[in-house]
């Protein structure tokens, strides 16, 4: 790695900031100790006002944002997980965290909050101790994201990391705890379960937390949703770039290649597929190649498929998150310098695993007769993998974009942008977040980008107001005097 190493917190300091001495009573007891410590910490901030809560969120962000901390966290993440690259991880730890903080600071989360309902006063309160499962694909920024949002609502937070993700998670939590102490807040507002990381500990956390947030593997998301604990779990990514004939093909290609390759393809909002009408398909492939894509022939595509999906199921953990040249070399494919993305043409969108989330810089491209057929193909792809998540539509026709929005079962659609922007980390009005729900399409309770609103609950106080009741004729006239007049009767 050519990045200059920077100093970390001493191991003893990180240990003191992140773990509670593990009792011998088993995994449930270990988790119980952390939950109890979080509850105690919450009692110490009961009287915090909005300004105090905002400072908690700032402390969480600043803990990882500081340049020396960020550099160390990037290095630790790469050493521990082997996923992605330093160039793309730096903005995830700094710029993205800053954007998320800025958005959260605009939201009221303590005491009386704005309410437009007549006679109603709404009082915001914490949800409790939040359990967060951290993915190894994106550990540090996930920790910062959740810590900002949970602390903004005056909650405590306990993280559970994967074995590979534990070192960067522990380091990030250590920095955050140090900043909490610096502002006079209890360190135990943020904790991580002690080593060794394990599924039993994660499952115990899912069971004992007041609220669960899971960003990560499909197995962890299913566990979170089946835990019986209120939860905001997120859907599987597999975004499609749907291209129209009037799109700026050169821009589309540059945006899509950059997005698909971002941090080794490990971001859930990175495009997996591009669907284009045959009238512009050849031009799109040419521009994708000019932007850094390598067009795999049938033999190379077969080798890549065997490398990524050796048993035909999910992508092989040993090869995901690599650069395009490294992945190509693993598959025995020679690619030229400057290659950032591997372009493949799938054999069958209904069965080829290369049309699912590869967690790698791989982009499947598909030619269709026209935009209507593109909608059909995009719907099939998303129904198979990535339901509810996101789609990027590239068109010069606003009505076609809205037509796609009405048709496709996704919670977010970006227009003339890379799908990476569906995370809201760009100027498009979406809530910036690294956790993106897929609604009932994905079996999620969350149908938008995770925000601090999910980490408060409210008491709505209703005072009497003057009645504004209307007569029956006013309420039912559109029905009784309209198309249904012949069938409407007064029982």
| 3-state class (DSSP) for residue 475 | helix
- The residues facing 415 across adjacent strands are 393
Q: What is the DSSP letter of 443?
A: T
Structure tokens at 147: 């810590």
DSSP string, 216-228: S-HHHHHHHHTSS
Spatial CA neighbour of 176 closest among 10, 65, 273, 325: 65
CATH entry, 240-429, from 3.40.50.360, 3.40.309.10, 3.40.50.10860, 3.90.1150.10: 3.40.309.10
Which residues in the chain come in under a pLDDT of 70?
A: 1-25, 483-491
Distance, CA of 246 to CA of 401 (rounded, Å): 12
Place of tokens 């996101």: 390
DSSP string, 25-69: S-HHHHHHHHHHHHHHHHHTTTT--HHHHHHHHHHHHHHHHSHHH
- Angle between the N-to-C axes of helices 398-407 and 371-384, in degrees from 0 to 180, rounded to the nearest 10: 30
Average pLDDT, the chain: 92
CATH architecture of 11-225: 3-Layer(aba) Sandwich (3.40)
CB 107 within 8 Å of CB 451: yes
| 3-state class (DSSP) for residue 162 | coil
pTM of the model: 0.90
Residue range(s) of every CATH 3.40.605.10 domain in the chain: 11-225
Q: What pLDDT, on the 0 to 100 scale, is given for residue 13?
A: 36
Structure tokens at 40: 């105690």
Q: List, for residues 197-228, the tens digit of each pLDDT value.
A: 999 999 999 999 999 999 888 888 889 989 99
Q: What pLDDT, on the 0 to 100 scale, is given for residue 325?
A: 97
Q: What pLDDT, on the 0 to 100 scale, is given for residue 12?
A: 35
Distance of CA 122 to the CA centre of its chain: 29
Q: Is the previous residue joined to 196 through a cis bond, with omega within 30 degrees of 0?
A: yes
Q: What pLDDT, on the 0 to 100 scale, is given for residue 15?
A: 39
Query: Catalytic residue numbers?
Result: 268
Q: What is the DSSP letter of 491?
A: -
Q: What pLDDT, on the 0 to 100 scale, is given for residue 277?
A: 98
Residue range(s) of every CATH 3.40.309.10 domain in the chain: 240-429
Q: Beta-carbon neighbour count of residue 196 at 10 Å? A: 9
Task: Strand 211-214: give its sheet, edge to edge.
Answer: 190-192, 156-161, 129-134, 211-214
Q: What pLDDT, on the 0 to 100 scale, is given for residue 491?
A: 54
Q: What pLDDT, on the 0 to 100 scale, is given for residue 486?
A: 66
Distance, CA of 412 to CA of 392 (rounded, Å): 9
């Amino acid at each position: 790695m050519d990045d200059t190493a920077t100093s970390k917190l001493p191991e003893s300091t990180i240990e003191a900031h992140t773990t509670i001495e593990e009792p011998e009573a088993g995994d449930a007891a270990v988790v119980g100790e952390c939950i109890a410590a979080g509850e105690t910490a919450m009692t110490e901030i009961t009287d915090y006002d909005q300004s105090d809560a905002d400072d908690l969120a700032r402390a969480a962000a600043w803990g990882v944002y500081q340049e020396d901390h960020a550099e160390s966290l990037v290095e630790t993440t790469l050493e521990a997980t082997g996923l992605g690259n330093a160039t793309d991880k730096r903005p995830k730890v700094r710029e993205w965290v800053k954007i998320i903080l800025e958005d959260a600071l605009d939201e009221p989360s303590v005491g009386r909050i704005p309410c437009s309902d007549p006679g109603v006063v709404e009082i915001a309160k914490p949800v409790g101790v939040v359990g967060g499962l951290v993915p190894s694909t994106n550990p540090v920024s996930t920790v910062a994201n959740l810590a900002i949002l949970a602390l903004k609502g005056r909650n405590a937070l306990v993280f559970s990391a994967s074995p590979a993700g534990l070192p960067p998670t522990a380091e990030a939590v250590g920095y955050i705890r140090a900043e909490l102490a610096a502002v006079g807040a209890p360190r135990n507002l943020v904790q991580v379960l002690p080593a060794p990381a394990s599924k039993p500990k994660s499952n115990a956390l899912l069971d004992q937390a007041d609220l669960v947030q899971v960003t990560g593997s499909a197995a962890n998301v299913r566990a979170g949703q089946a835990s019986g604990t209120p939860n905001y779990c997120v859907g599987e990514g597999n975004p499609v770039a749907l291209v129209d004939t009037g799109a700026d093909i050169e821009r589309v290609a540059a945006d899509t290649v950059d997005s698909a390759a971002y941090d080794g393809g490990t971001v859930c909002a990175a495009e997996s597929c591009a669907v284009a009408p045959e009238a512009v398909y050849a031009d799109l492939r040419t521009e994708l190649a000019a932007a850094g894509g390598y067009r795999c022939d049938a033999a190379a595509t077969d080798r890549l498929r065997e490398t990524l999906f050796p048993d035909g199921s999910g992508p092989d953990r040993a090869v995901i998150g690599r650069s395009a040249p490294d992945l190509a070399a693993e598959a025995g494919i020679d690619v030229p310098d400057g290659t950032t993305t591997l372009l493949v043409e799938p054999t069958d969108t209904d069965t080829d695993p290369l049309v699912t989330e590869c967690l790698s810089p791989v982009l499947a491209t598909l030619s269709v007769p026209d935009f209507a057929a593109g909608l059909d193909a995009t719907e099939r792809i998303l129904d198979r993998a990535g339901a509810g998540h996101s789609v990027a539509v590239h068109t010069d026709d606003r009505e076609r974009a809205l037509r796609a929005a009405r048709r496709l079962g996704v919670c977010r659609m970006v227009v003339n942008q890379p799908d990476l922007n569906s995370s809201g980390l760009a100027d498009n009005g979406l809530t910036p977040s690294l956790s993106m729900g897929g609604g009932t399409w994905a079996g999620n309770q969350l149908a938008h980008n995770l925000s601090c609103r999910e980490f408060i609950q409210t008491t709505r106080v209703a005072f009497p107001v003057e009645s504004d009741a209307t007569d029956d004729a006013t309420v039912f006239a559109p029905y009784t005097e309209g198309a249904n007049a012949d069938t409407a009767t007064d029982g």
